[in-house]
């Protein structure tokens, strides 16, 4: 009986032990394995770039204006229009300008004739011509005196600006001076000329010539033309309006395509005029270079504005002024440990997973420079098996399999 009980106990113990071993084996074989994809860490050399968002635009936006005051006769362009160098943009009414040129030429011819007479001696026909010159100068003065008087009344009624009134007075004074000069010349011819009189007449000839050249220049300026290929940003005048000298009539920009970025106080010291960059506009990436850096920080943002010109202009149908684009400014190369940005996780600290002995191991990393989708890091060693896919499904210690 005793032997029988011993046999039963031994059998029960054996079954219990076998059952326990089977359960342990089953639990071990049921441990979950997570598939991951890895990248072997190595040191590489990549270009270093400053990544910014920029705003597209056009360089050299200029305000174009006329040198003289007159009515707008014809506008040849519209806002946004592309123009070629030499294309007419806006024209002034030329009636008064043509008259001014003719008057200045008469004055110049008169002064020249008077000087010749003083040098060669007066003859009857010379005196006669001098009298005609006086009459012509008198007519010119009367015209501009009447024009000035009309402008005075218009100014007093608020119809014209002070600038236009001052311009009319300047013209009247100029022709009054020419009249006095013509009268003096006639008197000198009648009385004979001294050497100092001849020198004075020569000075009048030179002054009349300069006045004539100036009037011709103003007449030529009455046709405002594009001085380069470009775009009309805006038209600031209307046909029939009186346009004051110096007031802008057209905003014009060149064909240069430019992107503006605001650099931090640290980054602005890393670049200079000529620094290369890459600009990504939608799906198009083009090369560019810095052409201007503003040396004073913006009061609101504290950044330094830099202009980047696209070296290969893109189709204007794809280049819209004011659009936000990606900009990568190259500042050299760096040999370091570079890993994909999307392999980095963060729970308050930047970290990655590497595979060691079939298990996931967490390693904290310190981020450095970036190059598009890669970043240089500290905290890894060459040869580490960096998890680049599946890292969001695992934790430290998880068993993993490399796929």
pLDDT tens column, 116-170: 867 776 567 777 888 899 999 999 999 999 999 999 998 888 888 988 888 899 9
**pLDDT value for 396:** 95
Q: Would you mind telling me the total number of residues written for the chain in this entry? A: 403
> What is the average pLDDT score of the chain?
85
- pTM of the entire predicted model: 0.44
Task: Indicate the pLDDT class of residue 23, thresholds 50, 70 and 90.
Answer: very low
Q: Look at residue 293 and tell me whether its pLDDT is greater than 70.
A: yes
**pLDDT value for 121:** 62
Q: Look at residue 28 and tell me whether its pLDDT is greater than 50.
A: no
**pLDDT value for 266:** 93
| 146 vs 126: CA distance, rounded Å | 30
- 321 with 359: CB under 8 angstroms? no
| 249 vs 239: CA distance, rounded Å | 11
| 79 vs 48: CA distance, rounded Å | 41
| 308 vs 379: CA distance, rounded Å | 36
The stretch 297-301 carries a mean pLDDT of 92
The stretch 315-332 carries a mean pLDDT of 85
In this structure, of 17-26, 329-338, 348-357, the range with the lowest mean pLDDT score is 17-26
Non-local CB neighbours of 118 within 8 Å, separated by 6+ positions = 185, 188, 189, 193, 197, 198, 201
Give the residue with greater pLDDT, 19 vs 319.
Answer: 319
**pLDDT value for 218:** 87
Task: Indicate the pLDDT class of residue 15, thresholds 50, 70 and 90.
Answer: very low
pLDDT in tens, 196-227: 777 888 888 899 899 999 888 888 888 899 98
pLDDT in tens, 366-386: 999 887 788 999 999 999 999
**pLDDT value for 193:** 61
Q: Look at residue 403 and tell me whether its pLDDT is greater than 80.
A: yes
Q: How many Cβ atoms sit within 10 Å of the Cβ of residue 23?
A: 10
Q: Look at residue 338 and tell me whether its pLDDT is greater than 90.
A: yes
**pLDDT value for 16:** 45
Task: Please state whether beta strands 276-281 and 324-340 pair in parallel, antiparallel, or not at all (unpaired).
Answer: antiparallel
State what percent of residues in the chain have pLDDT above 70: 89
Q: Look at residue 75 and tell me whether its pLDDT is greater than 90.
A: yes
**pLDDT value for 60:** 67
Give the residue with greater pLDDT, 321 vs 218.
Answer: 218
Closest to 81 measured CA to CA, from 251, 221, 322: 251
Residue 319: strand, helix, or coil? coil
The stretch 328-343 carries a mean pLDDT of 92
**pLDDT value for 176:** 92
The stretch 172-194 carries a mean pLDDT of 83
| 86 vs 49: CA distance, rounded Å | 41
Helices and strands (H and E) in the chain: how many: 5, 22
pLDDT in tens, 34-67: 999 999 999 999 888 888 999 997 666 788 999 8
Give the residue with greater pLDDT, 358 vs 130.
Answer: 358
| 197 vs 190: CA distance, rounded Å | 13
């Amino acid at each position: 009986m005793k032997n029988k009980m011993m046999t039963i106990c031994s059998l029960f113990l054996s079954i219990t032990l076998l059952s326990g071993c089977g359960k342990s084996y089953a639990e071990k074989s049921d441990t979950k394995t997570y598939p991951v994809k890895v990248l072997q860490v190595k040191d590489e050399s990549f270009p270093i770039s400053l990544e910014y968002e920029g705003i597209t635009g056009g360089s050299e936006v200029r305000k174009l204006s006329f040198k003289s005051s007159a009515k707008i006769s014809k506008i040849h362009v519209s806002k946004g229009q592309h123009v070629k160098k030499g294309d007419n943009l806006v024209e002034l009414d030329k009636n008064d300008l043509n008259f001014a040129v003719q008057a200045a030429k008469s004055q110049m011819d008169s002064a020249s004739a008077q000087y010749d007479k003083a040098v060669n001696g007066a003859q009857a026909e010379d005196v006669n011509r001098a009298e005609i010159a006086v009459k012509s100068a008198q007519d010119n003065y009367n015209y501009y005196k009447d024009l000035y008087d009309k402008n005075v009344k218009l100014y007093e009624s608020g119809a014209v600006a002070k600038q236009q009134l001052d311009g009319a007075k300047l013209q009247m004074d100029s022709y009054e001076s020419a009249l006095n000069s013509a009268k003096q010349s006639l008197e000198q011819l009648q009385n004979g000329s001294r050497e100092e009189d001849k020198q004075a007449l020569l000075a009048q000839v030179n002054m009349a010539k300069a006045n004539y050249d100036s009037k011709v220049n103003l007449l030529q300026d009455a046709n405002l033309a594009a001085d380069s290929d470009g775009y009309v940003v805006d038209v600031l005048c209307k046909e029939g309006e009186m346009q004051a000298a110096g007031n802008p009539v057209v905003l014009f920009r060149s064909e240069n395509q430019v992107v503006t970025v605001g650099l931090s106080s640290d980054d602005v010291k890393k670049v200079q005029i000529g620094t290369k960059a890459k600009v990504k506009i939608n799906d198009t990436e083009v090369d560019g270079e810095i052409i201007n850096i503003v040396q004073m920080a913006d009061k609101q943002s504290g950044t330094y504005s830099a202009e980047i010109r696209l070296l290969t202009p893109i189709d204007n149908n794809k280049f819209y002024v004011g659009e936000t684009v990606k900009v990568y400014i190259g500042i050299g190369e760096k040999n370091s440990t570079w890993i994909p940005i999307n392999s980095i996780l963060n729970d308050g600290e930047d970290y990655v997973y590497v595979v060691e002995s079939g298990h996931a191991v967490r390693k904290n990393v310190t981020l450095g420079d970036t190059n598009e989708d890669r970043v240089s890091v500290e905290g890894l060693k060459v040869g580490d098996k960096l998890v680049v896919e599946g890292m969001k499904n695992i934790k430290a210690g998880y068993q993993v399999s490399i796929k």
